[in-house]
Structure 1
Amino acid sequence: MRDSGTPRVWGARPDELAASYPCDDLLGPGAEPWMRAVTVRADAATTFRWLCQLKVAPYSYDSLDNLGRRSPRKLSPGAEELAAGQRVMTIFELVSFETDRHLTLLLTTPRAVRLFGDFALTYAVLPEGADSTRLVVKMVVGRRPGVLGAPRMKMMAWGDLLMMRRQLLTLRDLAEGGTKP
């Protein structure tokens, strides 16, 4: 996958685009990959702990995807206690995780699946040094058949870019703010 300037890739480096992620096989060979990434000036444990906050809130545009409630700006006790099957951002299920390394999610809420289609995501925390990490998200998105399938995918990619960019930047800013796990 190359960064061709489309809304399917934002911030990801060539090595991140080429890497394998736990979500790769969740939707089958016809799924389309989308990538988003940001550098976080915090260690892997701090970045991962803020990533666990996705169990509590989406950390994007709260007026759109959190019913107007502000996503917490302090760590929520217990959010780091992970188990497969837990709800994440309300519409996803936690499929797998590795502490300080990744969360892998699958869109499982029936209404959301009908609205958005099939999505699987891996949020990966990749250490870059003692106090810097990359927060990389790979999504695999099920293709939609029919004459409107391709335009719908492009529109969804733009919408996701808008929302996930805000999410990653918010999580980055909170992790860099000094609240350690």
Structure 2
Amino acid sequence: MLVPAPRARWTRAVTSSASPDVLWRWVCQLTVAPYSYDLVDNLGRRSPRTLTPGADDVRVGQRLLVLFVVDTVVPGEHLTLRRARRGRGPVEEFAITYAVTPDPRGSRLVATVTVDGSRRGGLLRRLLAWGDLVMMRRQLRTLAALAAR
């Protein structure tokens, strides 16, 4: 099990007018850049606004977004990332699944974040949830908008 003792799970989602295959290509761009707040997540460099050739060749074990490694990938459907190194303290394990599905309006991108950790980490997990909400919201909206262009 990826996160053996989940203590929190957050789900974020957006709808895009893009087709699922185009939105999937943009999800794969996470191998190139974070697509949230570049000043915070990308050392001020702007995440690319065009598709990077080969970025959709995502493989298990591939590192991305600095902290993560690809755990599973089903091309065109979902991508699951886990923390590259097991953590210690209030948040030990951290995993994110990005799933793309068809939607009557185009496609839907759903991200599910799962964390575990010690019982003492409740406050940190709540703070992490709010930070994740802000960063993930920006990331998903950016990917959906770029796919819809």
Q: TM-score, normalised by structure 1?
A: 0.77
Matched AA of 2:51: L
Alignment partners' CA distance in 1, 2:67 and 2:3: 17
CA distance in 1, matches of 2:22, 2:51: 10
- TM-score, normalised with respect to structure 2: 0.92
Does structure 2 retain, via aligned residues, the 8 Å contact 1:144–1:153? no
- For 1:167-178, what aligned pairs fall within 5 Å after superposition? 167-177=139-149
Counterpart residue number, 1:165 = 137
Q: For 2:45 and 2:32, how far apart are their aligned partners in 1?
A: 11
Q: Which of 94, 101, 106 is equivalent to 1:126?
A: 101
Task: Give the aligned length.
Answer: 148
In structure 1, how many angstroms separate the alpha carbons of the residues matched to 2:74 and 2:135? Answer: 25
- In structure 1, stretches of 5+ residues that fail to align are 1-24
Q: SS of the counterpart of 2:50?
A: coil
Cα distance in 1 for partners of 2:46, 2:23 equals 20
Do the aligned partners of 2:22 and 2:147 also contact (CA within 8 Å) in 1? Answer: yes
Higher mean C-alpha displacement, 53-62 vs 27-36: 27-36
After the TM superposition, which parts of structure 1 deviate over 2 Å for at least 4 consecutive aligned residues? 113-117, 143-146
- Give unpaired runs (5+ residues) of structure 2: none
1:144 Cα shift? 3.1
Residue 108 of structure 1 corresponds to 84
Question: What do you get for the CA RMSD once the two structures are aligned?
Answer: 1.6
Q: Deviations over 1:114-173 (max 9, x none)?
A: 5864211110001114x6111001111113332xx1111111100010100000010011
Give the aligned partner of residue 155 of structure 1: 127
- Secondary structure of the residue that 1:76 maps to in structure 2? coil
CA contact (8 A) 1:38 1:134 kept: yes
Higher relative contact order (CA 8 A, sep 6+): 2
SS at match of 1:58: coil
